[in-house]
Every structure is written in structure tokens, then in C-alpha cells.
Structure 1
Amino acid sequence: MPAPNIEIGEYLYCIIRSSAPLTFQSRSIGGQDAQVHALVYKDLAAVVSSSPIVEYDSTRRNMLAHTTVLEEVMNTHTILPVRFGIVAPDAEAVVEQMLKRRYDELEQLMHKMDGCVELGLKAFWYEEVVYREIVEASPAIRQLRDSLVGKSPEETYYQRIKLGELVESAMKRKREEDAHYILEKIEPLVLETRNNMVITERMVLNAAFLVRKEHETEVDQVVQELDQEMGKRMMFKYVGSAPPYNFVNIVVRWDS
């Protein structure tokens, strides 16, 4: 139980389409044992649970609790996920400031997301394979690399810098080519694509796709075919049927 002097509010998980005050089985965030339930306005509802008005750390336990609720709700509803850690002052604020005040905006988003899921795809090169491809395709890189054999790093300092620049430039071009090829195969099947930041040298693609549920198996098949075709050059990490985090950005500010 929270300490008596801590104010209690409502933790937000997501928005759904419902005119009934539903309840859910998942355990609420923060180990409060509060019932996860829906607060309703017209045909929209916010899935919430009672919570101390605190700033939640993004620990594995808290993130898992948040995600588990979303996964349960997704089984039966289209959801608009609310970002982790949002606590409303009370149930009235959720209904009046969120559902009622922003009803038209949320309705439009819900209409856009109805029948859709998010799929995620990351692709990573096997560095040795791609480096070999780059060297084989570039006489300039090959010649410069070979000229350094048997020479000390000190006497070839600037040549090594030049070699690194040539390889980096070639890898950038190859990354763009490979990413374009992958997206060309998938994008005819999806409604929208988010290209997120590529965060390592090995990473070729970091994309999220908004897909109608009836096309999900077709995207699965294309990813399998890409893996069979390109699996010796790169590794694919594919995540299916996730909440549409990359396509819904609900910013929440409560009146003071």
C-alpha cells in the first residue's frame, strides 16, 4: 500500500474504443494490486489503474507491467498506446481533459489504427562478409589496403585514415542500397513506414511498419524470403503484432 501522504491518481496505459467500463486481468504497474479498468466517455475509454502520483523509473519490472497490460488489451481491442509513466491527477482528469477534450483527435487516431498492428524489422550485416564485398568491388580500396601490408602504423598513418574513409563511404552506400532493397519488398504491403535511427555500424535497417492485420502473414512471408535470400550477409530481427508505438504520439499535459 502507498504511504498515507502520497496522493493517488490514475496511471494511463492506452486508449480503446469501448462504451462499457471494462476490467482486465493483468497486474497493475508498481505492484499496487490495483484493478486495471476502463474509464469511459461516449465510445472511447482510457485503460487505467489507481497509482501513487509518482515518477516511475523505467525498470524492467515497471516496463513489463506496462507492456503486459497493453498486450492483454490488444487481444480484444485496437489500442492507442500512451507512453510509459503517465499518471493523471484523478479519474475526472482522465475523462474531462483526455477523453472529452481530445475526443475528435482520439477518434481520428482510432479510425486510422483500427484493424492495424505495428511490425518491427531490424537488419544487421555480418561485418566480415560485407567488408569482403566492399573490397572486392573497389579497386581503389583493394590497392590501398594491399599497399599497407608489411608497413608500420606510424609510417602509413595518413594512408590508413584514407582507407578508413573510403571503407566508411562504401559502407554508407551499401547500407542505403540494402535498406532500399528490403523496403522495396515490404512497403507495397504496408500502410506506413517509420525509418528509425541506425545506431551501430552493423545495422542496415531499423524500421517499423503499420500494417492491416489481414496483410500481416504476407509481410511475415516476405521477411522469411529475405532471410533465405540474404541470410548469409545479414541477420534479421523481426517483431510482430506490437502496439503502434511508432505511429501514435499522445502527449499528455494535465491542468494544474
Structure 2
Amino acid sequence: MTVTATATTPPQTLYVYGIAPAGVRPPRTPGVGGAPVRLLTESGLSAAVSDAPERLRARRRDLTAHQAVLDELAAQGPVLPMRFAVVSPDPAGLREQLRADGRRLAAQLDTVRGCVEMNVKGTTVPGCFADLVRRDDKLLVLARRTRRRPDYEANVRLGEALARGVRREAQRAAQAVLARLTPLAVRVVQGPLDDERVLSASFLVRAPDEDRFRQAVADQARALGDRLALSLTGPLPCYSFVETRPVARAGR
């Protein structure tokens, strides 16, 4: 679900940051719109909430405040993070959802306990065509034919073939990266791909293994850098490894 640039919230609406085990301390960090953050506790779970501002906008200061609250919660233990602009219509409804989903949410908290999310993306690397042509007999034949009879259509065919070859090489490299990194993670969730991005994956990594994971990504970046440009983001709240249903997006 997408966040609207501006959304009006009715009175008594709660802005929800995340869910943690009961017993955590309320975050001291001001929340979205500068509102104080409090805990709503039910069935062994605590939802970090604040009064939702009348108009929710994806402004940098509010995005930063949202993240700061989650960081303070995560410093105390496991947390199921909500994405920006998730709200609950009223406290009673949120309590009811915590009761109804308590067992499932507690199980998810156990899953992410002591873990962080690390996101790895990989994109194709243009160039290195000479090496690619040398390794691919079909491309070599096409390149020689184009040199003998250069024209617009021949150049287009060669360019398209080279682009497919570059993507194919990048996809193979992406599979190698996944094979190397997957054993270092508790779980892996695949993300969306496009014409340039051939790898997008979130890894649930135990906090003590973070440095080893980072080193493995760096090693793969060096080994495969001529075919795949790797980027690493993290540690992040474990957004990709939780299913939080007790609230709704603003503007829906």
C-alpha cells in the first residue's frame, strides 16, 4: 500500500510505530508531528503509539521521527516495525487486534529477536563488452558479421544482443551472491526486480553475524564487480520479516 502525500485523520486516531513485548520502556523520542509516544499494552504486547496529526505527510522530519522511535524500541529488544503512516482508528480497536493476533505477533517477535535486516541490491554493469563477446560464440559471430556489414539494423541487433548478454551475466552473478549470503541469514525475502536491478533481497541476520555478513558482501562485490554492482543497506528494522495486521494505512 502506498502512502498518500497528504492524508487527513479523524479525531482519536492513533499513529502506530511498532509492536514490542510488554515491559519495554516508552520511547522518550518525540514522535510524528512532535507528539509524545506512549505504550498501549494488551495480552503481553505493547504497541508504541502517539496521537496522529490531523494531516499526515511524508516529510523528512516525520520520517526521521518515525525511525528514531523504532530505533529506541529496538535498542531494548525485538520489535515489529510499522511503516510510515500506519494508523489505528481508536485505542479499543487496537487492543482488540492485539488480543486477537497476540499469539501470532508473539511468534514473530521471537523470530526477529536478536536479529537485524540487511538489504542487498545488485544492478547490471554496462561495458566489458569485449570480454563478453570473447566468451559467447553467438555474440562473436554477430559482432564479426556487423563489422563486415555495418548498418543501422545490424548495430541495433548487436546492441540488443549485448544488453541481453550483460543482463544474463549479471543474473548469474546475482545467483552466486544469493548462494553465498543465504547460509549467513536466518531468512531471506526476495524484493522486486526491473530491467537494471537483477538482485533485491532482504536478509534476516543475527546481530553477532552482522560483521561477517558485511564482509561476505564486500568479498562478492570485489569478485563480481565487473558484472554486478552491489549495494548494502542496514542494519534496518525487520520490516520484511513481519506481518502486522492490526492497523491500517492513513488515507484508506
CA distance, structure 2, for counterparts of residue 204 and residue 253 of structure 1: 33
In structure 1, what residue type is equivalent to 2:170? Answer: R
The CA deviation string for residues 223-250 of structure 1, in whole angstroms up to 9 with x for no partner, is 1222332345443211222111111132
Q: 1:219 aligns with which of 213, 222, 245?
A: 213
Query: Normalization by structure 1: what TM-score?
Result: 0.82
Where 1:198 maps in the other structure, the secondary structure is: coil
Query: Alpha carbons of 1:42 and 1:6: their partners in 2 closer, same or farther (altered >3 Å)?
Result: closer
Q: 1:138 and 2:136 equivalent?
A: yes
The alignment of Structure 1 onto Structure 2 pairs a total of residues equal to: 239
RMSD between aligned residues: 2.4
Which residue pairs with 1:111 in the alignment?
110
Which residue pairs with 1:38 in the alignment?
39
Q: Can you give the 5+ residue segments of structure 2 that lack an aligned partner in the other structure?
A: 1-8
Q: 1:99 and 2:98 equivalent?
A: yes
Where 1:8 maps in the other structure, the secondary structure is: coil
CA distance, structure 1, for counterparts of residue 172 and residue 222 of structure 2: 18
In structure 1, what residue type is equivalent to 2:79? Answer: I
Whether the 8 Å contact between 2:124 and 2:167 is mirrored in structure 1 is no
The structure, 1 or 2, with the larger RCO (C-alpha pairs under 8 Å, 6+ apart) is 2
The CA deviation string for residues 74-106 of structure 1, in whole angstroms up to 9 with x for no partner, is 12221111232121122222212x211211111
Whether the 8 Å contact between 1:8 and 1:50 is mirrored in structure 2 is yes
Instruction: Return 212-221 or 168-177, whichever deviates more.
Output: 168-177
CA distance, structure 1, for counterparts of residue 76 and residue 201 of structure 2: 26
Where 2:13 maps in the other structure, the secondary structure is: strand
CA drift of 1:169 comes to 3.7
Please list, as runs of the form range in 1=range in 2, the aligned pairs for 1:1-256 lying within 5 A after superposition. Answer: 7-19=11-23, 22-29=25-32, 31=33, 33-52=34-53, 54=55, 56-96=56-96, 98-129=97-128, 131-149=129-147, 151-153=150-152, 157=153, 159-201=154-196, 203-252=197-246
CA distance, structure 2, for counterparts of residue 13 and residue 49 of structure 1: 8
Query: Alpha carbons of 1:200 and 1:64: their partners in 2 closer, same or farther (altered >3 Å)?
Result: farther
CA distance, structure 1, for counterparts of residue 91 and residue 201 of structure 2: 36
Query: Normalization by structure 2: what TM-score?
Result: 0.83
In structure 2, what residue type is equivalent to 1:82? Answer: M
**Percentage identity across paired residues of the two chains:** 26
Whether the 8 Å contact between 2:43 and 2:102 is mirrored in structure 1 is no
Q: Can you give the 5+ residue segments of structure 1 that lack an aligned partner in the other structure?
A: none
CA distance, structure 2, for counterparts of residue 237 and residue 83 of structure 1: 22
Instruction: Return 229-238 or 112-121, whichever deviates more.
Output: 229-238
